[in-house]
Structure 1
Amino acid sequence: MRPDRAWVLLGSGRRLNLVDPQPDDWQDMDLAVGLSRTYRWGGHSHWDLPLSVAQHSLLVLVLRQQMQPHQPLTPGEALRELLHDADEGLLGFDPISPLKPHLGDDFAALTQRLQHAIAVRYRLPDWSHEDYLLHKRADHLAAASEALHVAGWARDAVHEMLGIHMSPVMTDPMPCLEGCLPWQPWAPRRAAAVFLAKLRELVGADSLEAPADLTAAIEREATLARLGAAFSRLPPAKQRRCACPVTGNGLTDTFVSVETEDISQQHIEGVIVGGDRDDDGQWVLDGQFTVFTTDEELIRVSGWGCHVEIQ
């Protein structure tokens, strides 16, 4: 084994060199899946599932915005909050705090290289001193709340044993997913899908009315679940016309918004179910493709005559 190389084969088929990571070594879905399968609190939880770093990252984003409710974060600031632990998803490891001092300088240097690659890839703004203090306050508040509501620590132990000198939030500030209770850890597939939806919403956005709000990401997943159920009810002959069936989950469904650029100004939204793909397996959006729309219709789209955005 060569000590200067530590390749990880990702779900997309790309290889990430953990020793020398490059900003284009992974796809957004790889990061979302990695974070959803990397667990907080050593994987321990008094729920049926552990808490993922993906869900924690979304919680920190929401808490950070609540600290300055009348001063919306910019998309870049929101993205910086969302990705504050992204290196853990690429590494697949979130060491508990008491362990970190024992991991040594080499591990710290490795995580710093991952963080740099992430910052370059997503063009994250540098932290100001004030912003970093607010971020750490949100992160500690999330930790105190998770310790009480997820990991099962007593309130006094959060202060005395964990050394977190903040009072936990009692009301879950996150929107509840359908079928979930407040503070309940999400299943990895759902956590990855919501994280990915929020990441795609923020990447490349010049302006958003509420960059820290999760409503659109949650509603998108609910829409996909509805479309997955509707697709399953289509006659078998129609389903067979689609190269890629609708699954009802954002990790496998490509949800797009399509606006024609001619005088008709038609607008549709839905999941791509057929068309050409590029070498990375992504849909070719400037050619012809088929969409199963939110009106539960199969429509053929000519991408070169439309403005197409992946939602």
Structure 2
Amino acid sequence: MQSQLSRAGRAGPLPSDHGARAFSVPQHHDRQPGACQCRPALDRTGSSRLSETPSVSGPVSGKGTVFVKSTKSTPPARAWQRMLSGRRLDLLDPSPLDVEIEDIAHGLSRVARWNGQTEGRWPYSVAEHSVLVEILVHRLYPDLALKWRLAALLHDAAEYVIGDMITPFKTIIGSDYKSVERRLEEAVHLRFGLPAALPADIVKKIKRADKIAAYLEATQLAGFSLPEANKIFGKPKTGLDVVIEPISPTAAKQSYIKRFRILGGPVT
């Protein structure tokens, strides 16, 4: 649109106002002078871009477009979560100073693995899974330093904020989920004395144990047949003697914190 209507009906230059809203002016032969009969312009989806009733001063005549300035502002969406510790964790820019092990343990003990599709009186929690992964890492790599075993315990810590999404859903969501998860993981690592990004070989070791844990959970709790689990996860050579028993959220939280202390997690 190259012009706007002046009060006299002549075309004039557009104002450089990025907050303006556009309206199309219907042509009515019986319109009275001084009356503004305007409809909100539609976007490409067919929905109106008008979020409030504007006011137009002065008469409008002739053909063209009337620009009115929006007077209503939309407050920014909340991007932080309040924790029981009183911390407010910014999900878009998480600070290590707002991360507490009590919050992590509490949250993970109430987040169910496998979308809750597991057998047993209690849902199988991410807290229990995390302890299992750390135990498997120790079995696989008995000489691994305590700090890397701590990293194994914390490998799903971000899920105390964003929950445990099954792998197929993570694939659907794509990079946005991974970006938020990565920032949370880095904040957790820094909070507990680990490098923001773990060394590649440590990540590989933790993923190996994580895959074994998934196999055990799938076959013992989530209803997978052995042939199905063998195909998806691969049959492990370590950990087949482990028996998984879902426990209460309270017990899972206590087990997680106890393991954290054993591995040298800092006391605050």
* Contact 2:99–2:188 (CA under 8 A) maintained in structure 1: no
What is the 5 A alignment of 1:184-263? 184-203=245-264
String of CA shifts for 1:199-251, please: whole Å, max 9, x gaps: 1333457xxxxxxxxxxxxxxxxxxxxxxxxxxxxxxxxxxxxxxxxxxxxxx
String of CA shifts for 1:92-125, please: whole Å, max 9, x gaps: x111111111113222111111011111111214
* Contact 2:99–2:191 (CA under 8 A) maintained in structure 1: no
Whole-Å separation in 2 of the counterparts to 1:167 and 1:197: 27
Cα gap change, 1:67/1:201 in structure 2, threshold over 3 Å: closer, same or farther? closer
Cα gap change, 1:97/1:2 in structure 2, threshold over 3 Å: closer, same or farther? farther
Give 1:119's aligned residue.
189
Whole-Å separation in 1 of the counterparts to 2:255 and 2:236: 27
Percentage of pairs with the same residue: 36
How far apart are residue 90 of structure 1 and its match?
2.6
* Contact 2:81–2:91 (CA under 8 A) maintained in structure 1: yes
User: Which of structures 1 and 2 has the larger relative contact order (alpha carbons within 8 angstroms, sep 6+)?
Assistant: 2
String of CA shifts for 1:7-56, please: whole Å, max 9, x gaps: 21211122112122111113211110011111111111111221111111
Give 1:208's aligned residue.
none
Give 1:291's aligned residue.
none
What is the 5 A alignment of 1:1-311? 5-69=78-142, 71=143, 73-91=144-162, 93-125=163-195, 127-160=198-231, 163-167=232-236, 169-172=239-242, 182-203=243-264
Letter of the aligned partner of 2:224 in structure 1?
Answer: W
String of CA shifts for 1:42-82, please: whole Å, max 9, x gaps: 1111112211111111101111111133x2x3221111111
Letter of the aligned partner of 2:229 in structure 1?
Answer: V
Cα gap change, 1:37/1:2 in structure 2, threshold over 3 Å: closer, same or farther? farther
Q: TM-score, normalised by structure 1?
A: 0.57
Whole-Å separation in 2 of the counterparts to 1:41 and 1:102: 16
Q: Which runs of 5+ in 2 are unaligned?
A: 1-73
Whole-Å separation in 1 of the counterparts to 2:236 and 2:174: 31
String of CA shifts for 1:174-200, please: whole Å, max 9, x gaps: xxxxxxxx4111111100011112213
Q: TM-score, normalised by structure 2?
A: 0.66
Whole-Å separation in 2 of the counterparts to 1:184 and 1:83: 21
Whole-Å separation in 1 of the counterparts to 2:200 and 2:181: 21
Letter of the aligned partner of 2:151 in structure 1?
Answer: R
String of CA shifts for 1:266-292, please: whole Å, max 9, x gaps: xxxxxxxxxxxxxxxxxxxxxxxxxxx
Cα gap change, 1:129/1:19 in structure 2, threshold over 3 Å: closer, same or farther? closer
Cα gap change, 1:4/1:106 in structure 2, threshold over 3 Å: closer, same or farther? farther
Letter of the aligned partner of 1:197 in structure 2?
Answer: K
How far apart are residue 127 of structure 1 and its match?
3.4
How far apart are residue 2 of structure 1 and its match?
5.1
Letter of the aligned partner of 1:106 in structure 2?
Answer: D
Letter of the aligned partner of 2:255 in structure 1?
Answer: V
